[in-house]
Amino acid sequence: MKTICVDAGAPDFAKRVKELGQILREGGLVAFPTETVYGLGGNALSAESARKIYAAKGRPSDNPLIVHVADIAQARTLVKSLSPLEEKLMETFWPGPLTLVCPKSDIIPPETSGGLSTVAIRSPAHPATQALLRAAGVPIAGPSANLSGKPSPTTAADVLADLSGRIEAVIDGGPCEIGLESTIVSCADGVITLYRPGAVTTEMLEAFAPVSVDPALLGKADAAAAPKAPGMKYRHYAPRAPMTVYAGDAESVQSILVSLAIEKRNIGFFVSEETAALLPAGLPVFIWGRRGDDATMARRLFAGLHYFDTVPVEAIYGEGTGMTGMGFAIMNRLTKATGYHIIMKNAETDT
C-alpha cells in the first residue's frame, strides 16, 4: 500500500477531506493531526477497522482505543448516558485535550473498547480533524499514530517514519501544539479519577470536583495496582539507550550532570538551555527549553526522545521539571521513558 500525505493547508483540502472521510467509512485508515499528538484513525463503529488499527500499530488488542467525536451531540450516541459533571467537563474543555471514560452504548464494538464496558471519548481541536470527522460522518477510533512502544508522533513525518505503507493516508496539519497525549479521566460518584495526566491539569479539574489520582501513576510499576488505563502498563516512549533523569534542586542537578559530562564517554544529555550552557562543548545535547517552561518542554519531549534514536550514545542523562501543572504529565512520560530511573536530588528519599 502506498500512503498518501495530504496537506491540510492546501487550497483543495476541503475536497480532499471528503475523499478521506469516504476512505474511513469504507474501512481504511487515515492518520490525523490533533493539538496533542497525531492519531491513527479508523471507523470506531467497525470491528474490522479496529482490528486493522491494532495490526498497523503492532498493538496488543486488549488496549482500548480513544474514540474521537465532532461534538457533545455525537458523544451522546456512544454512551449509556452522561452525568451533569461529564457534560460540564465536555462543555468546558472540548474541543481539546481531555478524554472521558464513560459506560459505552452497544454501537461501540468490543474490538474498539478492548473488551471493556466503557469507551474513552474526546473531541479534538485541530480544524483539519474536525473537517475529517464531519466528512466521515462516523466517530473515529484513534490511538497515537506510532508503532506500539515508540514515542507518540508530533509531526506527519514522524507518522510516516513508523506507518508508511501500513495506512491509506496521513493529513499533514503541522507540528502538534501541545505535544503530549490528552488527559484521561472518568467521573463516578461526583469524583474525577485521573488515569493519565495531560494538558488539562489536575489543578484545572479540581475547579469542578475532587480529583483522585490513579495510584499507578505515582508509584513504581511493581508497587502499584494495575493502572486504570490499560495502555499505561506498557513500556512506552523508550529511546534505544538507557535514560536517567535527575529532578529537584536545580543546582544539585546541574552539578551532577556537569560531573557526568566530564567523567563519562559516549553519553548524551537531555537538558534545559541553562544546563546546556554549563556542559563542555561538543557533546550530543538535546536542548529541551528554558527551565520551568513546561509548555515548550511538553511540545519538544517526544522530538527529544526521537533525536536520541539517531545519535549513537550508550546512555542518556536528563533533567526533570516540577510536578505541578503540566509538569506532572511531563514527569509521568519521563518516568516511562526512563523505566522509572528518576532520581530526586535534595528530596528525603530517592525514587
* CB-based burial, 256-271: b 16+ in 10 Å, e otherwise: bbeebbeeeeebbbbb
> Side-chain half-sphere of 347: how many Cα atoms within 13 Å?
13
H-assigned helices in the chain: 13-25, 47-57, 72-76, 84-93, 127-136, 156-163, 202-205, 250-263, 273-276, 294-307, 326-337
CB of 31 to Mg ion, least distance (A): 13
Question: Is residue 99 near ligand TXA by the rule CB under 6 A?
Answer: yes
Cell output for 262: 566530564
Cell output for 182: 490528552
Question: Is residue 34 near ligand TXA by the rule CB under 6 A?
Answer: yes
Question: Is residue 99 near Mg ion by the rule CB under 5 A?
Answer: no
CA distance 43 to 159: 19
Question: Is residue 95 near ligand TXA by the rule CB under 6 A?
Answer: no
CB of 109 to ligand TXA, least distance (A): 13
Comparison of 42 and 320: residue with beta carbon closer to ligand TXA: 42
DSSP sequence for 158-184: HHHHHHTTTSSEEEE--S-SS-SPPEE
CB of 348 to ligand TXA, least distance (A): 31
Residue 129 falls in which region: left (phi positive, over 0), alpha (psi -120 to 50) or beta: alpha
The answer to whether 104 and 117 are in contact (CB under 8 A) is yes
- # of chain residues touching ligand TXA (CB under 6 A): 29
Cell output for 88: 460540564
x/- binding map, residues 47-86, to ligand TXA, per CB under 6 A?
----------------xxxx--------------------
Per CB under 6 A, the segment of 7-15, 80-88, 228-236, 309-317 that binds ligand TXA is: 228-236
Sole binder of ligand TXA in the list 49, 182, 275, 335 (CB under 6 A): 182
CB of 38 to Mg ion, least distance (A): 10
Subset of 103-122 contacting ligand TXA (CB under 6 A): 113, 116, 118-120, 122
Question: Is residue 337 near ligand TXA by the rule CB under 6 A?
Answer: no
DSSP sequence for 177-193: SS-SPPEEEEEETTEEE
CB of 143 to Mg ion, least distance (A): 5
Question: Is residue 144 near Mg ion by the rule CB under 5 A?
Answer: yes
The answer to whether 38 and 144 are in contact (CB under 8 A) is yes
Comparison of 233 and 264: residue with beta carbon closer to ligand TXA: 233
CA distance 271 to 244: 12
CB of 175 to ligand TXA, least distance (A): 14
Binding site for ligand TXA (CB under 6 A): 34, 36-37, 39, 63-66, 99, 101, 113, 116, 118-120, 122, 124, 142-144, 181-182, 184, 195, 228-232
